[in-house]
């Protein structure tokens, strides 16, 4: 009997490792393709998700089992957030002189986007869980998912919305900002970091060093502000709108 | 490799301490406390930034793969996408552009134009 249980355990362990490796290999291949082609919309995260879904459906493999098998990858989200403290440390000196202005603009922006996303979702889709998820879409994925769990949003919708917000800002952000005459590198970096987090920042870092620096500054400050204000703001909005 | 271990050790230490703080005081997610501790450790020179920087850029470059399983979860929302897919995408699109414009315009007009000499 115990022999049998051991065999089953070993089998689960092997299938876990296989599924995890398959996910990593798939992601790395897409990352390689994007690196070669330099096309923003070939985002490896987005493409891996789009590729894995039909595979699971085709083999009738339950998502819960896939998620459970790749749990280790999801567990790495926490140390990934901690690692983001490094770019913040690098920018501490440049914020010192303007932290009041920067903080207030970003805080207002964060409040604005949470109110707009939450309200629009409640009005048009009427599902509070989804409204929470969409309110958290402007911040970097690991923090967005952590907050979404804390505030009873839906992880997968949050992740999906975050990727889309990132792709929109990365693809169209610079030309849109030029159009509305926001042309300085600092302002563009800050705006794209605030609205399109790491995905936008990684993309515009190629334009100039200042774009990248202000982008990562904005993405981290916005994540911090969002985690401070979103619990209270979302409960107030829920009381008003529901 | 040595630097990688060192970075891993510092990050794990900050995360652990963050978990202790979150468990006792609540408020922010544990990982955010960990991030603030990590920044402070670097700023007050409790950790050596030079030993950490290579590992960090590796982590930031590759961390996307950790979000894939959570993202695949959208599979459970077939009905939602079918019913509200367009609205969902439209809301994300509109609010992203409002935020982009708000932050870009305010920073350019309130901060940069004001101290254009000090820039």
Q: Which residue has the tokens 């414009």?
A: B101
Smallest CA–CA distance from A116 into chain B, residue: B95
| Chain A residues inside the 8 Å CB shell of B98 | 112-113, 116
Smallest CA–CA distance from B84 into chain A, residue: A125
For chain A positions 143-162, those within 8 Å of chain B (CB to CB) are 143, 145-147, 150, 154-161
> How far A27 CA lies from chain B's nearest CA (Å)?
6
Smallest CA–CA distance from B111 into chain A, residue: A101
- List the pLDDT tens digit at each of the 242 positions of chain A: 566 667 777 778 888 899 999 999 999 999 999 889 877 678 888 899 889 999 999 998 999 899 999 989 888 888 988 888 888 788 888 777 888 889 999 999 999 999 999 999 999 999 999 999 999 999 988 889 889 998 999 988 998 899 889 888 988 999 999 999 999 999 999 999 999 988 788 778 777 778 888 888 898 889 989 999 999 999 999 998 87
The verdict on a CB contact (< 8 Å) between B100 and A79 is: no
The DSSP symbol for A38 reads -
Domain ranges of chain A: 2-75, 82-241
Give the Cα-Cα-Cα angle A33, A192, A27 (nearest 5 degrees): 25
For chain A positions 38-97, those within 8 Å of chain B (CB to CB) are 44-46, 48-49, 52-53, 56-57, 63, 66-67, 70-71, 73-74, 76-89, 92
Residue A119 and residue A202 in contact, taking contact as beta carbons nearer than 8 Å: no
Distance (Å, whole) CA A201 – CA A211? 8
Task: Pick A180's closest partner by Cβ from B34, B74, B101.
Answer: B101
Q: Which residue has the tokens 């949003």?
A: A153
Q: Is the ipTM of this complex over 0.90?
A: no
Written in H, E and C, the secondary structure of chain B is: CHHHHHHHHHHHHHHHHHHHHHHHHCCCCHHHHHHHHHHHHHHCCCCCHHHHHHHHHHHHHHHHHHHHHHHHHHHHHHHHHHHHHHHHHHHHHHHHHHHHHHHHHHHHHHHHCCCCCCC
Q: Which residue has the tokens 């690196």?
A: A35
Provide, for chain A, the percentages of residues in helix, strand and coil under a 3-state DSSP scheme, each rounded to the nearest 5: 85, 0, 15
Smallest CA–CA distance from B110 into chain A, residue: A101
Q: What is the pTM of this model?
A: 0.80
């Amino acid at each position: 009997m115990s022999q049998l249980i051991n065999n089953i355990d070993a089998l689960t362990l092997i299938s876990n490792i296989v599924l995890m490796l398959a996910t990593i290999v798939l992601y790395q291949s897409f990352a390689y393709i994007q690196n070669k082609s330099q096309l923003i919309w070939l985002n490896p995260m987005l493409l891996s998700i789009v590729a894995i879904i039909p595979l699971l459906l085709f083999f009738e493999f339950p998502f819960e089992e896939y998620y459970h098998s790749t749990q280790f990858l999801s567990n790495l989200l926490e140390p990934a957030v901690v690692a983001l403290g490094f770019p913040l440390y690098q920018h501490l000196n440049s914020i010192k002189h303007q932290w009041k202005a920067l903080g207030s603009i970003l805080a207002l922006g964060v409040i604005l986007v949470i109110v707009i996303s939450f309200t629009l979702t409640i009005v048009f889709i009427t599902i509070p869980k989804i409204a929470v998820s969409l309110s958290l879409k402007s911040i970097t994925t690991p923090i967005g998912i952590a907050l979404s769990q804390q505030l009873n949003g839906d992880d997968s919708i949050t992740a999906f919305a975050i990727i889309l917000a990132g792709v929109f800002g990365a693809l169209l952000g610079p030309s849109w900002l030029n159009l509305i005459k926001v042309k300085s590198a600092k302002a563009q970096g800050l705006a794209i970091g605030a609205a399109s987090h790491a995905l936008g920042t990684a993309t515009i870092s190629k334009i100039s060093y200042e774009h990248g620096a202000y982008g990562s500054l904005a993405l981290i400050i916005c994540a911090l502000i969002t985690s401070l204000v979103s619990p209270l703001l979302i409960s107030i909005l829920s009381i008003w709108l529901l | 490799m040595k630097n990688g271990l060192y970075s891993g050790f510092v990050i794990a230490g900050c995360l652990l301490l963050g978990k202790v703080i979150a468990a006792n005081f609540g408020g922010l997610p544990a990982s955010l406390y960990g991030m603030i501790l990590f920044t402070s450790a670097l700023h007050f020179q409790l950790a050596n930034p030079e030993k950490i920087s290579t590992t960090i850029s590796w982590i930031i470059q590759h961390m996307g793969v950790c979000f894939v399983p959570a993202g695949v979860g959208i599979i459970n929302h077939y009905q939602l996408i079918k019913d509200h897919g367009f609205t969902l995408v439209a809301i994300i699109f509109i609010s992203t552009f409002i935020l982009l414009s708000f932050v870009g315009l305010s920073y350019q007009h309130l901060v940069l134009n004001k101290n254009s000499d000090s820039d």
